[in-house]
Amino acid sequence: MKSIEDLGDLQGKRVVIRCDLNVPLDGDTITDDGRIRASLPTLNALREAGAKVVVLAHLGRPKGQVNPKYSLAPAAKRMAELLGVEVKLAEDVVGPSAQALVDGMSAGDVVMLENVRYEPGEESKDEAERQALAEKYAAFGDVFVSDGFGVVHRKQASVYDLAKKLPNAAGKLVKAEIDVLKQLTEEPARPYVVVLGGAKVADKLAVIDNLLKTADTLVIGGGMAYTFLKAKGYEVGTSLLDEEKVEVCKQYLEQATAAGKQILLPVDTVVSPAFPSGEGPFESTVIDSDKLPADQMGLDIGPKTAELFAEAVKGAKTVFWNGPMGVFEVADFSKGTKAVAQALTEVDGLSVVGGGDSAAAVRELGFSDDQFGHISTGGGASLEYLEGKTLPGLDVLG
């Protein structure tokens, strides 16, 4: 896989770069600009090399329709502030506005095209439709740089098909992500602890299957923990539950025991009569996980569990964490996630925060990026890599 240094002299050349700028928004306000910051090293390197930089990116799921709600305008504005240069945003993706802006570029300029997912061909299952759109993207550039790690597990026009049309390379962000993931999968320093949380157990089953072979301890919290607790025969009340996966979770618990691996589950739980909505504080109680009332909902790990999980994390040499321990957005139910994040900052070894909600959580809870070994920008892509899957957006790079 080539790096941007392998592309030769870029002075005056047009570089089409796929970034992941899928940032969370509150109206027009970006609430976490981590993904934009992560794109800066590559963008600065290209500008310093004298390239004309054409940025492709997506935001949300407009599903092939132009929708102002998903405009990249906030991302372009923030990128301009962070780069300290003007970032012109086209009014379309591959139309006359995009063409005019690209035609008018000088060395060091940065132009952003509108949300690539406005185009039906971007996410099309029809290869010919994706290829046709990729041809239009390719017409804007001399070379292609893939730097949107959060989308490399997708076979999409701006990720996969475009890489076939132009000389290509991986950007600094993608290179950094791969280097870290290799450390997690190829002879990680031990003990190796993986912390998994978030809402859906189904999203993590394949990665659990693979990690039971490589990790020493799996720590499971968040909404997905209740399916495992149900598999142990516990009452889980009105907590999140994937009834169809209870049997699979039971098999994983047996598999871990047989292999001498640990799966740590919550020993106590913060419960409430209902999911929090509106302003707090909310009614909550700490209950042992085997005594959860039928009319209560688990919304965070309890204090004993937070201590148990933190000890497991702090004793590791390698830690990968993906998914919060509870409804971290609500202060009353954020303590478990905060305890795990704090423990990661104290790891004597490699600590990796695996993108998505985990990255948003650590920043929202007041931690800075440099307190962790690495904060990934691609939750789904990271998990698929750890599952051992081939990622098409990486596979296609020369």
136 is in an annotated binding site: no
In sequence order, the 6+-apart residues with CB closer than 8 A to the CB of 337 are: 197, 300, 324, 325, 326, 328, 361, 365
Q: Is 63 annotated as a binding residue?
A: no
Q: Are 197 and 323 in contact (CB under 8 A)?
A: yes
Q: Which of 12, 95, 349, 380 is catalytic?
A: 380
95 is in an annotated binding site: no
Residue 297 CB neighbours (<10 A): 23
| 14 given a catalytic annotation | no
Is 20 marked as a binding-site residue? Answer: yes
Say how far apart CA 121 and CA 139 lie, in whole Å.
16
- Known binder of ligand: residue 21? yes
Judge whether 380 counts as a catalytic residue: yes
Which of the residues 37, 77, 155, 200 is marked catalytic? 200
Contact in structure between 297 and 333 (CB atoms under 8 Å) = no
Active site residue 356: yes
Q: Is 398 annotated as a binding residue?
A: no
Residue 329, annotated as binding a ligand = yes
Choosing from 35, 78, 136, 363, the catalytic residue is 35
Closest CA to 376 of 350, 342, 344, 353: 353
Asked whether residue 121 is marked as a ligand-binding residue, the answer is no
Please tell me whether 60 is known to bind a ligand. yes
- Cα–Cα distance measured from residue 127 to residue 374, given in angstroms and rounded to the nearest whole number: 35
End-to-end CA distance of the chain: 5
Check the annotation: does 58 bind a ligand.
Answer: yes
Does the annotation place 47 within a ligand binding site? no
Q: Which helix (H) or strand (E) holds 314?
A: helix 303-314
Of the residues 121, 221, 222, 356, only one is catalytic, namely 356
Name, in order, each residue with C-beta under 8 angstroms of 23's C-beta and a sequence gap of 6 or more: 30, 31, 32, 33, 34, 35, 36, 59, 74, 75, 78
Q: Which residues are catalytic, by number?
A: 35, 200, 356, 380
**Binding-site entries for substrate:** 20-22, 35, 58-61, 117, 154
**Binding-site entries for (2R)-3-phosphoglycerate:** 35, 117, 154
**Binding-site entries:** 20-22, 35, 58-61, 117, 154, 204, 298, 329, 355-358
**Binding-site entries for ATP:** 204, 298, 329, 355-358
